[in-house]
Amino acid sequence: MSVLAVRNLTKRFGSLVAVRDISLTVDAGELRAVIGPNGAGKTTFFNLVSGFLAPSTGSILFDGRDITGMPAHQRVGLGMARTFQITEIFPELTVFENIRIVTEVAAGYRLRPWLNRAEAADIRRRIEETLALAALSDKADRLVGELAHGDQRATEIMMALALKPRLLLLDEPTAGMGDQETYEVTQLIGRLHKDNKLTIVLIEHDMRVVFHLADRITVLDQGGFLAEGTPPEIAANEAVQTAYLGQAA
């Protein structure tokens, strides 16, 4: 069964059609990249899948279950996690505290007035593991708001990961980054994908990242579906090249 199945998804804002009749299926363990020129509707698509926007028509199935009407925080409960184009973290808390909140919520402790010794130790261990995975251990006590962009993004990804999601949605994870940071984040995502057999859907503009990571690529253009296939297939696809003509790769 596919992890995510989207059928005829459409979103209209008045007379403006942001997303038009999109259908796709993502299988377990797959890393799917969603690409397209600016204005193709990629972030709107993410907002629909994650529950920030309600679709005009169409349906969304998560692990076979219809979640089309479900509010965002419930989708999280089902195993969907997401990062945002503009890094959404808790800026005036430390890296450790950021990860801690997520870990505690994921462990079901969000309403707890206290944790016993064993629980607290378990949480601490999980936080430290998460930090190590992203090489953030030495930055654990720094305020996230003060970190370099790449580290903030890494923190955000690890927060999403701490939710132990079935599906991870990454919205332009390398946006605004220089080469070195892009490389590091790409490596991190690749590692997470391989080591945890995570199902990931990724919006990206940077083609190097896309072609390095993706198992399959879906191309959107002006809100609609353009093409889908493996990286070599997409690279050779003329319609895709035409859509991108004039766009920096």
Partner 1 sequence: MTSAQQKHLAVLLAIWGALIFAPYWMPLFGGYTALGSRVLVLGLGAMSVNFLLGFTGVLSFGHAAWFGLGAYSCGLALKFVAPSTPLGLLAGTLVGGIAGAILGALLVRRRGIYFAMVTIAFGQVFYYIAFQWNSLTGGDDGLRGFARQPLDFKLFRIDLLHNDVYFYYFVLICFAAVVAIMAFILRSPFGRTMIAIRENERRARFLGIPIELHIWIAFTLSCFFMGFAGALYALINNFADPRMLHYTLSGDFVIMAVMGGMRTFWGPLLGAVIFVVLQDYISSVTVNWMSFIGILIVLIVLFFPRGVLGLLRQRRTA
To partner 1, the closest distance from the beta carbon of 115 in angstroms equals 6
Nearest to 173 by CA among 192, 196, 146: 192
Does 88 help bind partner 1 (rule: CB under 8 A)? yes
Give the list of residues 6+ apart from residue 46 with CB closer than 8 angstroms, or none.
82, 169, 171, 201, 203
To partner 1, the closest distance from the beta carbon of 122 in angstroms equals 12
Does 110 help bind partner 1 (rule: CB under 8 A)? yes
Task: State which residue, 72 or 236, has the beta carbon closest to partner 1.
Answer: 72
Q: Which of residues 12-31 bind partner 1 (CB under 8 A)?
A: none
Which H helix or E strand runs over 170?
strand 167-171
Task: State which residue, 16 or 111, has the beta carbon closest to partner 1.
Answer: 111
Task: State which residue, 22 or 102, has the beta carbon closest to partner 1.
Answer: 102
> Quick check: helix, strand or coil at residue 69?
coil
* DSSP H stretches of helix in 18-116: 42-50, 72-78, 95-106
Does 90 help bind partner 1 (rule: CB under 8 A)? yes
To partner 1, the closest distance from the beta carbon of 200 in angstroms equals 17
Sheet holding 57-62, edge to edge: 65-66, 57-62, 4-13, 16-26, 224-229, 216-221, 31-35, 199-203, 167-171, 80-82
Q: Which of residues 189-248 bind partner 1 (CB under 8 A)?
A: none
Does 116 help bind partner 1 (rule: CB under 8 A)? no
**Binding window for partner 1 (CB under 8 A); candidates: 16-24, 68-76, 127-135, 206-214:** 68-76
* Environment class of 172 (CB within 10 Å of its CB; exposed 0-12, middle 13-18, buried 19+): buried
Interface with partner 1 (CB under 8 A): 50, 72-73, 76-77, 81-82, 84, 88-93, 97, 100-102, 104-106, 109-115, 159, 163
